[in-house]
Amino acid sequence: MDRFIDTIELIAAAFVGIVALNTFVAIVMRKFFAVTIPDYYDFGRLLLGILIFWGIAATSYRGSHITVDLVWANVPPRQQRWIDVFATPVLLFVVTVQTITLFDKVRTTYQDHVLTYDLRLPNWPFFAVAWAGDVSAVVLIAIRTWRLLFHPDEIHDAKLKPSE
């Protein structure tokens, strides 16, 4: 299971590199060679969307997403666990609903034949890869929920303890 989790995190990291490379190459080509890469803007925005959804998958399991832990950090470990037990299924519900609505977006983008501006490439494959990231987030949050409830010693949290 940990190998699956690490693979999803690796995929998210790869998309960070792809987005950065797209931006870097576009800037270098425009600045030094006065050449614009066709659809670099469309690719950039579509890849950024993919990055966001795979990033949600990567950060949701580890608990390393942006949080406000004012209450969590100031209660004893037992109450921290109860807060986590409440919050994680809520997160699972929200991301599951988001995944369902994103699939509808993939479907309508496919049906409407939405294309990029210059190369006229279909947008739906990018949306589908983003949706796969969202599905991964649901799976990882479900694993986190299971482990939190039944195997709390197997949780890999990025949260700092109040004493750190």
Distance, CA of 157 to CA of 60 (rounded, Å): 10
Average pLDDT over residues 16-27: 93
Q: Considering only CA atoms, which of 127, 129, 65 is closest in space to residue 91?
A: 65
Whether pTM > 0.75 for this model: the answer is: yes
| Inter-CA distances, 159 with 21, 44, 67, 73, Å | 30, 31, 10, 9
Q: What is the pLDDT of residues 49-86, one digit of tens each?
A: 999 999 888 888 776 665 667 888 888 988 888 888 89
Q: What is the pLDDT of residue 58?
A: 84
From the number of C-beta atoms within 10 Å of its C-beta (0-12, 13-18, 19+), residue 3 rates as exposed
- Residue 38: pLDDT band (50, 70, 90) is very high
